[in-house]
Structure 1
Amino acid sequence: MRRTVNRLMAAAIAVGLAPWWAAPAFAKDKITFAAAVFAEAGRGDRVKAWIESYNQSQTGVEVEPIAIPFSSLANTVFTQMGGGGGPDLIRLDQTDFFAAIPSGRLLPLGDVINDKDYPFLGPDRFMKVKDVRYGLLFDTTGYALLYNKDILPQPPKDFESFLAAAREKTRDGTFGYAYRATMAERAGFWQDLCNYVFGFGGRWSDKDGNLTLNSPDVIKGVAAYKKVYDAGVTPKGADAATYRRMFWEGKIAMNVDNGGVAAIFNRNAPQLPFAAAPSPFPDKAQGLIMTALVVNANTKHKDAAGAFIKWAYAPENQKTLQAAMGTSVGTRLDMSPEEQAKQPWLRVYEEQMQNALPQLVMGHEDKTPEIQQIVLEQVLKVLLENADPKDAMDRAQSLVERRVLR
């Protein structure tokens, strides 16, 4: 009998078959997830650990994180997707998200996830185009007023009191406020300008996508930007890295900035006595920074991608992701009083985000960089050459219509 079994084993091995008791476990369905955040020191490691916790909890699916630097992510994955390949899951910034939709690169997610099952944040509305869901918020933050409580115990509630406080606190090497106003930091200049334009009721386009660069409310926002510039309350020419360092050194009283900066302050300068409050502008709308988790339309692993998405948006896993990212994620989280005390600014930013708007020219998302260049050139004429805001924005409207939207 033993010789018979041995002969069967030998025969099985000879033809490349393993006996039943030595059969390997079923392989996991592996999917790839490309994101710039994986290339970041610190935060990238925390998010990869979050994904590993998913892998450890699963028997059928494994997610492989792929780190691609932000500067090359869109070109890399769009080229791959255009050739019929590419990663299964991708974290895209808002500009690349909107650019990917018209070309059919993204898989609609209406049958992957049920909206009613999740307490999505207000900006989730931008994850749908013509009522079709193409992505989910991976991480997001809006803008709010950050202020140093030692310098300014109470935040201003309106623009005039904000400007008065900024003037009062500018003395002896301390500045009342800081923002960007140079082409060397074009992207940041645009972000800061958007907050003023949105905050005074302006929009770069209307609900039908018609350009409104020279609307009365946009002009009000540009004029307010100029008023702050002329007040002498900012360290003119300082880049964001410099004035944010000055803030945590106690040399700046206020700054309208995004929630990621608040998280950095908290992590790197825990002794800093800062707080957050709504931005002191007439309109509640402020800029929105968001990234989208999307599924490649070429994926051969739709079910596996869907399984990961459902795990990622479960409340306990959203809370872990929030801790890793340091900003808000896709859903509203229940936080204990102790958790809120550790990150008190989060609720302020969440409330601000309900009215936040992408820093894009809606309806012309793919043209935003070209429009941005023209607008900022004209705003600089207002700041540096005392050009009339209305004349400058009339020129911007005309130039964009002739050069960009022709």
Structure 2
Amino acid sequence: MIKKSRGYRMVPVIGAAAIALSLAQASAQEKTVITFSASHFAEVGRGDALREWVAKFNGSQDEIEVQPITIPFSSYASTIFTQMGGGAGPDLVRFDLPEFYAAANAGRLLPMDDVIDDAQYDFTSADAYMKVDDTRFGVVFDSANYALIYNADLLPGGEPPKDFDEFLEYAKAATGNDNYGFAYRATMAERGGVWYDVTNFVYGFGGRWSLPDGTPTFNSPEVVAGIEAYKQVYDAEVIPRGTDAATYRRMFWEGRVAMEIDNGGVATILTAQGADKPIHASASPFPHPEQGMILAPVTINANTKAPEAAGTFLKWALEPEQQQELQQLLGAANVATVVERSEEELAANPWLAAYDAQTPNSVPALAQGLEEKSPEIQQIVVEQVLRVLQGGVSPQDAMDRVQEHVETRILRR
């Protein structure tokens, strides 16, 4: 009797649940559902915060729903390009800059000139790279600047070096007893990281890998000067040679490395891991203020069946309140528009000011006009730089080889 009685009483409850589920499904079906892929969604902590940010948009809408898509970073680009090539893929895609240019040039992205009115927004200087042939194909989702991170306890007077000569002096003074004055990458195993490290030196000495029209300038006097400076640091024996980035960053938060030039994302990690050794940051100690930048646009897939819904989300994301929240959850990164840090943020992490001040001087670490050739260019440049450091080749000879290789092989394919 008890079982029968309970079963009898559950009938209307189950019926009510089924009706509620049916109504919810009907409601969802009435909405335009679009997908948004970003490698951030796979990150612990920050991924959850970003999902909540997207959920805020969903809560504000009656007709549109954005569903986050998680794809592992290691296979992200290849997965997205495969899907796009098959006429599918997420409606909204956050790309790294090289893949952004490749997708735009391949016709995989929807032009945004009818979606985003430039006059309505106070975009940061990084927005200049969101257009290809004067057509907008993306808006900045996040950008990370580079600056000098230092341990004040290991530098004279606790102050950063004012120029390159003083930088070398400080680095030598801080080296000894298993401590090092500086750290950067110098192995082929970390080719991508070496590329960024070398680019910061090249930009800091006034060089560029190419002209805006794509003409290669790998052996220009300014580029060679940057490579020479990179070699000076290596020859000074102030770095833990052969260590990878994960190792020397750990050494930094342990108080065993005095300085490194790194992006704001790394500064956030160092702050979290080495709370008992507060980090400081300043402009890199080079003759020119320009440094590299990690830049990631958000784009609309040309295959989308709901371009208006995708545009609605982007315009919502560019509103001041959403930009403020996004910048806070991303940490040291900047967003599409100019957002002032709160007093609380700067009080908790004073070094943020140095990174934000670098925004006008940040330049993507790519050969302009040759973006799609980046993997091949990185390979030959890093090979030659390592020959300079470890094989006795002169910076000029090495970069002459790079220039010849790019002109006669890469550009003629």
- The counterpart of 2:245, out of the listed 240, 256, 275, is 240
- The counterpart of 2:60, out of the listed 57, 76, 91, is 57
Cα distance in 2 for partners of 1:388, 1:336 equals 48
Deviation at 1:57, TM superposition (A): 2.2
- The counterpart of 2:160, out of the listed 147, 155, 164, is 155
SS in 1 for 2:50: helix
State the one-letter code of the partner of 2:108: R
Corresponding residue number in structure 1 for 2:18: none
Corresponding residue number in structure 2 for 1:7: none
Contact 2:185–2:244 under 8 Å retained in 1: yes
Cα distance in 2 for partners of 1:22, 1:291 equals 36
- What is the CA deviation profile of residues 155-192 of structure 1, one whole-angstrom value per residue up to 9, with x for unaligned ones? 11110001110001112221110000100100000000
**Which structure 1 segments of 5+ residues have no match?**
1-20
- What is the CA deviation profile of residues 16-36 of structure 1, one whole-angstrom value per residue up to 9, with x for unaligned ones? xxxxx9995472211001121
SS in 2 for 1:380: helix
Deviation at 1:81, TM superposition (A): 1.6
Cα distance in 1 for partners of 2:113, 2:51 equals 27
Q: Report the count of equivalent residues.
A: 386
Structure 1 pair 303–251 and aligned structure 2 pair: CA distance change class (3 A): same
- What is the CA deviation profile of residues 105-130 of structure 1, one whole-angstrom value per residue up to 9, with x for unaligned ones? 11111111112222211111101122
**Does 1:349 pair with 2:352?**
no
**Does 1:229 pair with 2:234?**
yes
State the one-letter code of the partner of 1:357: V
**Does 1:83 pair with 2:89?**
no
**Does 1:205 pair with 2:200?**
no
Cα distance in 2 for partners of 1:61, 1:23 equals 14
Contact 1:265–1:272 under 8 Å retained in 2: no
- What is the CA deviation profile of residues 13-69 of structure 1, one whole-angstrom value per residue up to 9, with x for unaligned ones? xxxxxxxx9995472211001121111222212211211122122211110011111
* Structure-to-structure mapping, 1:14-93, within 5 angstroms: 25=27, 27-93=30-96
**Does 1:135 pair with 2:138?**
yes
Contact 1:142–1:287 under 8 Å retained in 2: yes
Contact 1:142–1:356 under 8 Å retained in 2: yes
Deviation at 1:295, TM superposition (A): 0.3
Structure 1 stretch 149-158 or stretch 321-330: which is displaced more?
Answer: 321-330
- The counterpart of 2:104, out of the listed 101, 105, 111, is 101
Contact 2:33–2:65 under 8 Å retained in 1: yes
Contact 1:124–1:137 under 8 Å retained in 2: yes
State the one-letter code of the partner of 1:32: T
- What is the CA deviation profile of residues 107-154 of structure 1, one whole-angstrom value per residue up to 9, with x for unaligned ones? 111111112222211111101122211101111111100011222210
SS in 1 for 2:361: coil
Corresponding residue number in structure 1 for 2:181: 176
Cα distance in 1 for partners of 2:25, 2:46 equals 40
Cα distance in 1 for partners of 2:176, 2:140 equals 42
Cα distance in 2 for partners of 1:122, 1:350 equals 12
**Which structure 2 segments of 5+ residues have no match?**
1-22
Structure 1 stretch 332-341 or stretch 129-138: which is displaced more?
Answer: 332-341
Cα distance in 2 for partners of 1:213, 1:219 equals 8
Corresponding residue number in structure 2 for 1:388: 394
Cα distance in 1 for partners of 2:32, 2:78 equals 27
What do you get for the CA RMSD once the two structures are aligned? 1.7
- What is the CA deviation profile of residues 248-273 of structure 1, one whole-angstrom value per residue up to 9, with x for unaligned ones? 11111110000001111223333322
Corresponding residue number in structure 2 for 1:335: 341
State the one-letter code of the partner of 1:44: G
Contact 2:271–2:278 under 8 Å retained in 1: no
Cα distance in 1 for partners of 2:270, 2:389 equals 30
Cα distance in 2 for partners of 1:397, 1:132 equals 30
Contact 1:124–1:330 under 8 Å retained in 2: yes
Cα distance in 1 for partners of 2:87, 2:42 equals 25
- The counterpart of 2:261, out of the listed 246, 256, 260, is 256
Corresponding residue number in structure 2 for 1:359: 365
SS in 2 for 1:96: helix
Cα distance in 1 for partners of 2:72, 2:369 equals 28
Cα distance in 2 for partners of 1:60, 1:275 equals 47
Cα distance in 2 for partners of 1:387, 1:64 equals 53
Cα distance in 1 for partners of 2:268, 2:61 equals 31
- What is the CA deviation profile of residues 209-254 of structure 1, one whole-angstrom value per residue up to 9, with x for unaligned ones? 1011111111000000000000010000110000001111111111
Structure 1 pair 268–55 and aligned structure 2 pair: CA distance change class (3 A): farther
Structure 1 pair 176–30 and aligned structure 2 pair: CA distance change class (3 A): same
Cα distance in 1 for partners of 2:203, 2:67 equals 39
State the one-letter code of the partner of 2:370: H
Contact 1:141–1:350 under 8 Å retained in 2: no
Deviation at 1:98, TM superposition (A): 0.7
Contact 1:328–1:346 under 8 Å retained in 2: no
SS in 1 for 2:177: coil
**Does 1:188 pair with 2:186?**
no
Corresponding residue number in structure 1 for 2:17: none
Contact 1:27–1:60 under 8 Å retained in 2: yes
- What is the CA deviation profile of residues 251-308 of structure 1, one whole-angstrom value per residue up to 9, with x for unaligned ones? 1111000000111122333332211100111111100101110001121111111111
Cα distance in 2 for partners of 1:211, 1:38 equals 37
Contact 1:33–1:87 under 8 Å retained in 2: yes
